[in-house]
Structure 1
Amino acid sequence: MSSDVLQRFLLDDLDIRGAVVRLGPVWQQIIADRHYPEPVNGLLGEMCVTTLFITEALKQSGRVTFQLRGSGPVSLLVVDCDQRLNLRALAQYGDDLDSGTARTLLGDGRLVLSLDLSGSRAPWQSVVPLEGEGIGEIFEHYLSLSEQLPSRLFLAASDTGAAGLFLQKLPAADSRDPDGWNRIEQLAATVTDDELINLTPTALLSRLFPEETVRVFDSRAVIHDTPEDWDKVRAMLRSLGREEVEAVLQEQGAVIVRDDLANREYRLDRDGVAAIFDRSPPTLH
């Protein structure tokens, strides 16, 4: 089984649904060469896992972008995911960074969701204030507002992996078993970070819910696919204009365009810049 996987499941007798995410190589690709401090890695990894849960549950194809913007040492976390479960992410932070909860590191701020659905003219956006101490609590609050269903998130992230368990109480749960949601919450709360990151989804569910009927659906692979897009870079530089781009070239010796979400850098020398502006525009027919 792939180390980068999302596994949906249903507790049939209780009307409780959920999912398990386990990331290995994909998470390592996302943070490669970024040298994020440990607290930043932890926040970003947990946010990646949560974004996967929410994206996979979309009933329409589209792209989900979550931003956590704060006034604290960590000023920005961005995670972007589409219906292929293609994951991209970045973080911005200052020098005065100590360990602490998400709320301590982010300070006062807001959670911004941009939802770009196929066929829509413009992305739909939602903004809510940050509520809760950790990434899990922040997104549980968001889900309580957006879906109005009780939800729980159990998250973990390290330099080598990120993982999580998502639970959501469906409307018929109390009629199925009045104590079911409470029982499942207590069982799930026994999970450790090591179990989340290292156990396969099937093994994790068997460990947590040995007495429950768990229906497991087909797993989905998570990817980190960020091919070069020189056409986009050239179009952006043309929009700036030759004079401004050549001024950067003169000052720095090269024009460097950084795509932080894709963790990719584009570098152009004098010949590369000249090729952009000296090329004849395409003829329109």
Structure 2
Amino acid sequence: MHSDCVQPFLFEHLDIRGALVSLDRSWRELAAGRSYPEAVLKLLGEMSAVTCLIAANLKQPGRMTFQLRGDGEVNLLVLDCDEQLRLRGMARGREAGVAGNPTARQLLGNGQLLLTLDAEGMRQPYQSLVPLEGDGIAAIFEHYLNLSEQQPTRLLLAADDRRAVGLLAQKLPDADRKDEDGWNRVMRLLDTLTPAEHLAHSPLDLLRRLFPEEDTRVFAPRPVSHHCPDDPEKIHAMLRGLGRAECDAILKDKGEIHVRDDICNRDYRFDAEALEAVFAAPGHRMH
């Protein structure tokens, strides 16, 4: 059983390509210690899965970041992933107001999906912004993919507190010529997949169960990991950017300087002694 991987595949006689993703340990590490309500955790898990599916197409070193911004109880979801499928992410909002089993759209309200792509060789990051369309994360990203790639795309996502999974299928230009009913047949089979079944099976097992009659070429799986290393120097540089006078003023007012790294779920705290060490670091010149 392959876990924490993206599994690409191709229906050779139908000209339909796709990929499955299974996030196990990587998803649990990303969600650890965050105490999100169940509905918010599900949103973040599904968005983690689709981010990996799309980032698997990165051909050169780079980073792909998706932000869902809305005016609802959850006003921000951020996921980013690099070409090595190293993933990190977070959610933010008025989580105390989340109750029951609301849809993604009910949680997010009206808003936008923003993609930022920063890859090697690009003069500046590429950005794409689309309005939120659809009731769930899958529908929102299907709308985005159909606009951006202009190929019919189907996306299925599921997540709980242990696992996040996804399946993407895309109709290629020669699909109708090879089998005029092939795409519709695949869609009907995908309609039979429940979230519980999706979460219960490995990518390869799911392919065999859903498409036993299709000639399926399976490519090498690509590993996924949660990657959010401790980077105190980034925080130190930010404090130096504020300047010693500003930092001293905060320290005097608050008793300490507290910096929150939301995406890595990490806190940095500086008392007078720690702040002195930051500004006395080699290579830093006092002004």
Give the Cα–Cα distance (whole angstroms) in 1 for the partners of residues 42 and 241 of structure 2.
Answer: 37
Partners of 2:105 and 2:134 within 8 A in 1 = yes
- Secondary structure, in 3 states, of the residue corresponding to 1:153? strand
Q: Which moved more, 1:189-198 or 1:231-240?
A: 189-198
- Calculate the TM-score normalised by the size of structure 1: 0.95
Report matched runs for 1:60-75 at 5 Å.
60-75=60-75
Summarize the Cα distance change of 1:282–1:11 in structure 2 as closer, same or farther, 3 Å threshold: same
CA deviation after TM superposition for structure 1 residue 268, in Å: 2.1
Distance 1:256 1:279 in 2: 19
The whole-number CA distance in structure 2 between the counterparts of 1:194 and 1:131 is 25
Secondary structure of residue in 2 paired with 1:105: helix
Kept after mapping to 2: 8 A contact 1:45/1:157: yes
Is the contact between residue 189 and residue 210 of structure 2 (CA under 8 Å) also seen in structure 1? yes
| C-alpha displacement of 1:282 | 5.5
Question: C-alpha displacement at 1:256, in angstroms?
Answer: 2.1
2:64 aligns to what SS in structure 1?
A: strand
Equivalenced residue count is 283
Q: Which runs of 5+ in 1 are unaligned?
A: none
Q: Please name the residue that 2:162 is paired with.
A: 160
Deviations 1:86-123 (A, max 9, x none): 00111011132233111111111011000001122321
Q: Secondary structure at the match of 1:6?
A: strand
Distance 1:25 1:105 in 2: 26
- In the alignment, is residue 205 of structure 1 matched against residue 207 of structure 2? yes
Q: Equivalent residue of 1:194, what SS? A: helix
Q: Tell me the residue number matched to 1:216.
A: 218
- What aligned pairs does 1:226-265 form with structure 2 within 5 A after superposition? 226-265=228-267
| 1: CA distance, partners of 2:127 / 2:89 | 18
Range moving further from structure 2, 144-153 or 226-235: 226-235
SS of residue paired to 1:267: strand
Q: Assess if the C-alpha contact under 8 Å between 1:17 and 1:170 holds in 2.
A: yes
Root-mean-square deviation over aligned CA pairs:
1.5
State whether residues 22 and 196 of structure 1, in contact with CA within 8 Å, keep that contact through their aligned partners in structure 2.
no
Query: Counterparts of 1:35 and 1:132 in 2: how far apart (Å)?
Result: 27
Secondary structure of the equivalent of 1:14?
coil
Per the alignment, residue 104 of structure 1 pairs with 106
- Indicate the larger mover: 117-126 or 171-180: 117-126
Report what 2:183 is aligned to: 181
Equivalent residue number for residue 83 of structure 1:
83
Q: Structure 1 residue 127: deviation in Å?
A: 0.5
Distance 1:53 1:67 in 2: 16
DSSP 3-state at the match of 2:230? coil
- For 1:27, the aligned partner's letter is W
Contact map agreement 2:112 2:130 (CA 8 A) in 1: yes
CA distance in 1, matches of 2:284, 2:125: 30
Mapped partners of 1:157, 1:280: distance in 2: 46
Q: Percent identity?
A: 53
Q: How far is 1:254 from its partner?
A: 2.5
Are positions 1:27 and 2:41 aligned together?
A: no
After TM superposition, list the pairs within 5 Å mapping 1:134-173 onto structure 2: 134-173=136-175
- Equivalent pair of 2:64/2:80 in contact (CA under 8 Å): yes
Gaps spanning 5+ residues in structure 2: where? none
Q: 1:253: Cα distance to partner?
A: 2.9
- Give yes or no for contact 2:2–2:203 (8 Å, CA) kept in 1: no
**Is it true that 1:53 corresponds to 2:53 in the alignment?**
yes
Alpha-carbon distance in 1 for matches of 2:257, 2:237:
14
Identify the residue that residue 115 of structure 1 maps to in structure 2: 117
Q: Distance in 2 between matches of 1:74 and 1:158?
A: 18
Which residue identity is paired with 2:9? F
Q: Shift of the alpha carbon at 1:3?
A: 2.1
Partner Cα distance (1:251, 1:185) in 2: 61
Residue 30 of structure 1 deviates from its aligned partner by 0.7
